[in-house]
């Protein structure tokens, strides 16, 4: 399977689908969530986004579906182009797909000695290999600390800067060799998950793209429209929570002249919904998922 959709029923129920409405799946992947949305539509439409060319192979043959090969940070432009504004609901399943993790050529997993790429869109941007070769030691430290939440970010950056003076760091095994004296003993898998998370977020500008998407979601949803987001780490979840709470990245609630709070959403989930033990048993990659749902005021 290309990708096992996470929190499928809870996220689709969160959209509260109108059979004749217009919905957006900004992370198409294997089409699991999109298929379930289409099953509940009659005269409605679904616009789906995915920047990874591989996802295009999974397009569902349905005239109600438009699949856009682009990053979801361009959601407003494409919805304007297709003349479907405003929309009834938006679904985002953030993170990487099982296909991307399992593809031995993409470099997303430490299980394979593949070249360090980690780009969602392989047509543009720097690969992980290029970032490790070109970033300054200070830039590497910032990346590992901010996006990997690694307390030893300074040591990691220093190790890379030293190694690349003598050898190219181009494969998964290369980076493991650089960090073999720094990795957390007994917690190697978690340590490398954070290292690769930092690289992936930096290379794909994930936080920046998510920020732009969330800002535009407020504009493109109709009143009572729903925003449903599944996140997988604290950086994503914090940003999603802040936008749903206040309409901005910082989480600061603004007030009007009379002191009334100006909030664009009503949060349905004060605390995020998480997968059941049964789902985690079937799909281990669901274990860190958090689902938040909000309705536009």
CA torsion, ordered 201, 205, 206, 207, to nearest 10 deg: 100
- pLDDT, tens digit only, all 297 positions of the chain: 566 789 999 999 999 999 999 999 999 999 999 999 999 999 999 999 999 898 889 899 999 999 999 999 999 999 999 999 999 999 999 977 666 766 777 777 888 899 999 998 888 889 999 999 999 999 999 999 999 999 999 999 999 999 999 999 999 999 999 999 998 788 898 999 999 999 999 999 999 999 999 999 999 999 999 999 999 999 999 999 999 999 999 999 999 888 989 999 999 998 999 999 999 999 888 999 999 999 999
First to last CA, the chain: 38
Beta bridge partners of 47: 24, 66
Q: What is the pLDDT of residue 4?
A: 78
- Fold for the domain defined by 8-98+206-296: Rossmann fold (3.40.50)
Q: What is the pLDDT of residue 100?
A: 73
Comma-separated ranges of CATH 3.40.50.150 domains in the chain: 8-98+206-296
How far is it, in rounded angstroms, from Cα 271 to Cα 252?
18
Q: What is the pLDDT of residue 3?
A: 67
DSSP assignment of 15-72, as one string? H---TT-EEEES--TTSHHHHHHHHT-SS-EEEEE---GGGGGG----TTEEEE-S-G
Domain 110-204 CATH assignment equals 3.40.50.2300: no
Contacts of 33 (CB under 8 A, 6+ apart): 5, 8, 11, 12, 25, 27, 91, 93
Is residue 48 a contact partner of residue 62, using CB atoms and an 8 Å limit?
Answer: no
Comma-separated ranges of CATH 1.10.150.170 domains in the chain: 110-204
Q: What is the pLDDT of residue 107?
A: 72
Supply 125's token pair: 């941007």
């Amino acid at each position: 399977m290309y990708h096992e959709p996470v929190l499928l029923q809870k996220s689709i129920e969160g959209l509260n689908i109108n059979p004749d409405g217009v919905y957006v799946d900004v992370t198409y992947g294997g089409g699991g969530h999109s298929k379930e949305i289409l099953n509940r539509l009659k005269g409605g439409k679904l616009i789906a986004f995915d920047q990874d060319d591989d996802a295009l192979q999974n397009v569902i043959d349905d005239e109600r579906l438009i699949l856009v090969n682009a990053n979801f940070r361009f959601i407003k432009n494409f919805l304007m182009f297709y003349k479907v504004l405003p929309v009834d609901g938006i679904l985002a399943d953030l993170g990487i797909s099982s296909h991307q993790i399992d593809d031995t050529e993409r470099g997303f997993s430490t299980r394979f000695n593949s070249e360090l790429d980690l780009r969602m869109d392989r047509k543009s941007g720097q690969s992980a290999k290029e970032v490790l070769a070109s970033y300054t030691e200070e830039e590497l430290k910032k990346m590992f600390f901010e996006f990997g939440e690694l307390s030893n970010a300074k040591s990691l950056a220093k190790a890379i800067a030293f190694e690349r003076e003598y050898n190219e760091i181009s494969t998964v095994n290369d980076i493991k060799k650089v960090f073999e004296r720094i990795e957390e003993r007994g917690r190697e898998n978690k340590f490398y998950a954070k290292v690769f998370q930092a690289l992936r977020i930096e290379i794909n500008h994930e936080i920046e793209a998510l920020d732009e998407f969330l800002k535009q979601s407020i504009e493109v949803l109709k009143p009572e429209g729903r925003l449903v987001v599944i996140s997988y780490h604290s950086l994503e979840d914090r940003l999603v929570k802040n936008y749903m709470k206040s309409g901005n990245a910082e989480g600061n609630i603004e007030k009007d002249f009379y002191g009334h709070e100006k909030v664009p959403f009503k949060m349905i989930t004060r605390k995020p919904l998480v997968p059941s033990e049964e789902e985690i048993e079937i799909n281990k990659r669901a274990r860190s998922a958090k689902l938040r749902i909000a309705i536009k005021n």
